[in-house]
């Protein structure tokens, strides 16, 4: 066994570091670039670093928001949202959409992005993004601490009802993740990482293990 000197802390008592390491430890994380529309028809586009997929069948994805922000408000009103893939070429525009604007102001226009109407939901996707998922909200969950007290953070879950993929990213029916050059949040104050084709490697699964089983299903 390798002997290491570990830094130890209990979050409830503070981490004692110059920056909370949680975001850097759980990294890299896919970016939830979420577009929504409010009950008055106004659109919103914002990035979330707490985002992931949670189920295969039905396909469910979700994003978490610290405080009740416009994306959560809109999703609660219309029960719809769209996830848009962030690639390296869209990184600066994604960052622009993090600008705090007044409710109802359009981040698509701010970042010079094209709002393409959804096919199933009444929420636009980012036309420049190479992949997008249209979703209908299934749950909005407010988090609690270990004492059962509600905290000011919410998880929005949605069933994927339509998917858009740039056909150039499909090879023999398989989506080529690295060919899109996606970027991911990597913790720290301003850190991101990029997925590159030369960094992709293969791991052969045990006999009989399915893709779903390898990710906790079965």
pLDDT tens for residues 130-141? 999 999 999 999
User: What pLDDT does residue 36 have?
Assistant: 98
User: What pLDDT does residue 207 have?
Assistant: 83
> Whose structure tokens read 């850190």?
191
In this structure, what DSSP letter does residue 110 have?
H
Give 153-175 pLDDT, tens digit per residue.
999 999 999 999 999 999 999 99
User: What pLDDT does residue 1 have?
Assistant: 86
N-to-C CA span, the chain: 32
Burial, 114: exposed, middle or buried (Cβ in 10 Å; 0-12, 13-18, 19+)? exposed
User: What pLDDT does residue 215 have?
Assistant: 56
What is the rounded CA–CA span in Å between residue 31 and residue 50?
A: 7
Average pLDDT over residues 9-36: 93
What does the radius of gyration of the chain's CA atoms come to, in whole angstroms? 19
pTM of the model: 0.91
Please give the domain boundaries of the chain with CATH numbers for all domains: 19-215 (2.30.110.10)
Give 80-121 pLDDT, tens digit per residue.
999 999 999 999 999 999 998 888 889 999 999 999 999 999
Give 170-203 pLDDT, tens digit per residue.
999 999 999 999 999 987 778 899 998 898 888 9
Is the predicted pLDDT of residue 213 greater than 60, yes or no?
Answer: no
């Amino acid at each position: 066994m390798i002997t290491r000197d570990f830094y130890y802390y209990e979050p409830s008592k503070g981490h004692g570091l110059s920056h909370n390491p949680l975001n850097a430890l759980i990294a890299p994380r896919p970016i939830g670039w979420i577009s929504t529309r409010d009950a008055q028809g106004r659109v919103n586009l914002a990035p979330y670093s707490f985002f992931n997929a949670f189920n295969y069948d039905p396909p469910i994805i979700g994003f978490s928001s610290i405080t009740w922000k416009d994306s959560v408000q809109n999703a609660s009103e219309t029960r719809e949202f769209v996830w848009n893939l962030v690639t390296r070429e869209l990184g600066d525009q994604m960052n622009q959409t993090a600008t705090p604007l007044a409710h109802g102001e359009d981040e698509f226009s701010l970042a010079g992005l094209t709002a393409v109407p959804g096919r199933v939901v009444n929420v636009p996707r980012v036309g420049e993004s190479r992949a997008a998922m249209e979703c209908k909200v299934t749950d909005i969950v407010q988090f609690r601490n270990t004492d059962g007290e509600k905290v000011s953070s919410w998880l929005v879950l949605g069933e994927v009802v339509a998917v858009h993929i740039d056909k150039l990213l499909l090879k023999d029916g398989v989506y080529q993740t690295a060919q899109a050059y996606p970027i991911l949040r990597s913790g720290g104050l301003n850190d991101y990482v990029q997925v590159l084709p030369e960094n992709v490697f293969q791991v052969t699964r045990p006999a009989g293990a399915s893709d779903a089983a390898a990710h906790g299903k079965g």
